Amino acid sequence: MRVPMIAGNWKMNTTLNEAMELVNEIRQGLGQIDNVDKVICPPFISLAAVKELIRGSSIKLGAQNIYFEEKGAYTGEISPLMLAHLCEFVIIGHSERRLYFNETGGITNKKIQAALKVNLKPILCVGEKLEENEAGRTEEIVTRQLGASLAGLDYPTGLIIAYEPIWAIGTGKAATGTQANETIGLIRHNIVELYNERAGQDVRILYGGSVNADNATEFINQPEIDGALIGGASLKANQFLGIIKQAAEIKNNLSG
Ligand code: PEP
């Protein structure tokens, strides 16, 4: 069975001190939860300090982005080699990167390759815009995004995909559990088509878009959904912990 994952994307929020406070609060409130992967993705500048603060806990660390070159004259960029000893995960192709920084499928593809080279596990984000959703093009869009991002790659062991409809991100207007489950089922089918049955069974696919402690169960309860990628609500320790605890409870009920 796939281990559920609850991942927090802090985006461009928290100073170093705020990040340290937030991670301390999360660590203190977490208790013993073994059956859920808990991942936080603070801004680059806080990764080293946060890594120290989570040492000995079950919290895992991810970065929010990566550049695809190893080193060189790329002012302001962060390379895979710089992240390799800090993090286990890296978010790639978030819709905000696609929208504000012109990231194409070709770029996400290079970033995934670069991450895999240093054993970072990619959390690949896909999702459609509101107008695409309304035009019934969700399937076409996510299929195209997946195809472009994974083109030419063997199945990346440890790959995580986050289905994040753009109209649901930061809007307070989440998809329904049923909608998200349907699209995530389709993404899983795509992985089977691109690779094989085994890959489709192994890949963890999260839902992201206005998830909070009030609506998380609706998503995590769905058979195709393996957890959540959370923006706004991951900046509040009680919300983030509430979501993790819901995931742990659902998992316990399923296995018990
Ligand atoms: C995100 O940015 O990945 C996200 C899901 O944001 P929010 O939870 O705030 O909608």
Active site residues: 94, 164
Instruction: Supply the DSSP string of 3-58, one letter for each residue.
Output: PPEEEEE-TT---HHHHHHHHHHHHHHH-S--SSEEEEE--GGGHHHHHHHHTTSS
For ligand 1, pick from 96, 169, 173 the residue to mutate: most ligand atoms within 8 Å of CB: 169
Closest CA to 249 of 31, 9, 21: 31
CA of 212 to the centre of ligand 1 (A): 10
pTM here? 0.96
- In tens digits, the chain (256 residues) has pLDDT values of 899 999 999 999 999 999 999 999 999 999 888 899 999 999 999 999 999 999 999 999 999 999 999 999 999 999 999 999 999 999 999 999 999 999 999 999 999 999 999 999 999 999 999 999 999 999 999 999 999 999 999 999 899 999 999 999 999 999 999 999 999 999 999 999 999 999 999 999 999 999 999 999 999 999 999 999 999 999 999 999 999 999 999 877 776 5
